[in-house]
Copies of this chain bind each other. A is one copy, B any other.
């Protein structure tokens, strides 16, 4: 197999020096040798760089490294450097989430991941959810601030990652970004207001490759920025990227992919067809619950066990500790274990009749103590309140309702799903067993669940490394039929039923029934 070609590529050139017998112009001489590598017939050269590049050619005796972006329909020459600079070729993959932004820095020469970080989306200070931010963006000043916040955060990540790995951010020649439709609009400074108003029309779905310079990003100024296309107002490029990463389209089997984020985006299909829909699930499943939630990272409680008899609680942290909060998968574990230990009833209320030393009160409401103030990182109690529980249950109910609505709308049942991909920041950590217990995921044979982790980020990284994913990305976007989730009485009835644990209809969750 031929090695995949990254989105940007470097070529070592040694041009024949000019002579009376070969008086090809300097840049044409360079282009001519590049043509020899194939596929570069329509190479474009930016006028403004020509004097600098010609001077490099002449100074180096025509031994240079040329960097070409292969992202657009016509390849573009984006840098000429003295000598052999092929080793310095990096790319950044970005998953631009509503709540968090995740980054991976890749060495595109060697094809290896060299750094990874995850940051809160600074827009959170304007509002936790998409709708609030769209409101902020209705004011041009607000739109600019939202835009600048994300651009600056990406620039901080670029500076941090390149600093940490002792490389020049000028050697980062490509950036791929996947986000939901609103996040992409805000990142580009495009007014997203029609996204939240019927008939929910974005300004643009399919974007041409852009240059880092025009977006104000501090990688190489002519570095290529590729943004995954959106499908609808609530079905974004993050899902397109995740579908690509899952290889869902390579299979005959009926598969479902759910991207669990602040929005729940779901796609169902196989190699023949794809249908998708999306709805707000809230930030709870990403660990975005106000009091003690956090993203999966150092100090996060990711696993909880409660002995049904003694009600004794144990937990597992990510990293060495001390505990700092609880992430999405930890929360699901917590609720599932509390439910199985009778500490939470089927209606989602704390069962205060069951004695436990952990019952406490916060702001005069019942709460469950997870970690005492002495044990935590910041000296504050880690408690789980009825309010937190209500939020989580709304999120899980929304998720389950969206899943069932989509699957039923195309004439299938949940049990027909042969592969169930779970994407999202916490997809790696989620325990399907406990997610089923609380009724977040349907009660399918466990081997059908395939956690993908942050599939949006991973799909973006794949695109950095293999430009053929560009076509796949466009095919996916073109193939998906977007189903507008009609929040009618029927939907609301299903949602209400799904707010129970695991559900008002226990026969939907036979394995959970057997446990109690």
**Residues of A with Cβ closer than 8 Å to B?**
18-20, 23-28, 31, 42, 44-45, 47-48, 50-51, 54, 72-74, 188, 190-191, 194, 198-208, 210, 214, 230, 232-233, 482, 484
Q: Known: A20-B199, A23-B201. Is A206-B44 also a contact (CB below 8 A)?
A: no
CB neighbours of A203 from chain B (8 A): 25-27, 50-51, 54
CB neighbours of A74 from chain B (8 A): 72-74
CB neighbours of A482 from chain B (8 A): 23
Please, how many angstroms separate the alpha-carbon atoms of A45 and B188 in the complex? 14
Please, how many angstroms separate the alpha-carbon atoms of A45 and B210 in the complex? 10
Task: Select which of B26, B31, B206, B233 is within 8 A of A201 by beta carbon.
Answer: B26
A142 to chain B, nearest CB (A): 15
A457 to chain B, nearest CB (A): 24
Residue contact A201 to B45, C-beta cutoff 8 Å? no
Task: Select which of B44, B191, B204 is within 8 A of A25 by beta carbon.
Answer: B204
CB neighbours of A26 from chain B (8 A): 194, 201-204
Residue contact B188 to A47, C-beta cutoff 8 Å? yes
The 24 sampled A-B contact pairs (Cβ below 8 Å) are: A18-B201, A19-B199, A20-B198, A20-B484, A23-B199, A23-B233, A24-B201, A25-B205, A25-B206, A25-B230, A26-B194, A26-B201, A26-B202, A26-B203, A27-B204, A28-B206, A45-B208, A47-B210, A47-B214, A48-B214, A51-B203, A54-B203, A72-B74, A73-B73
Please, how many angstroms separate the alpha-carbon atoms of A369 and B8 in the complex? 70
A147 to chain B, nearest CB (A): 12
Residue contact A28 to B73, C-beta cutoff 8 Å? no
CB neighbours of A191 from chain B (8 A): 51
Residue contact A23 to B232, C-beta cutoff 8 Å? yes
Task: Select which of B23, B50, B199 is within 8 A of A18 by beta carbon.
Answer: B199
CB neighbours of A28 from chain B (8 A): 204-206
Please, how many angstroms separate the alpha-carbon atoms of A54 and B188 in the complex? 15
Please, how many angstroms separate the alpha-carbon atoms of A45 and B72 in the complex? 12
Please, how many angstroms separate the alpha-carbon atoms of A50 and B47 in the complex? 25
Chain B residue nearest to A233 (CB atoms) is B23
A57 to chain B, nearest CB (A): 10
CB neighbours of A210 from chain B (8 A): 47
A40 to chain B, nearest CB (A): 12
CB neighbours of A206 from chain B (8 A): 25, 28, 31
Please, how many angstroms separate the alpha-carbon atoms of A232 and B28 in the complex? 11
Residue contact A200 to B73, C-beta cutoff 8 Å? no
A403 to chain B, nearest CB (A): 21
A469 to chain B, nearest CB (A): 18
Please, how many angstroms separate the alpha-carbon atoms of A48 and B48 in the complex? 20
Chain B residue nearest to A204 (CB atoms) is B27
CB neighbours of A48 from chain B (8 A): 214
CB neighbours of A19 from chain B (8 A): 199
Please, how many angstroms separate the alpha-carbon atoms of A73 and B484 in the complex? 37
Please, how many angstroms separate the alpha-carbon atoms of A190 and B53 in the complex? 12
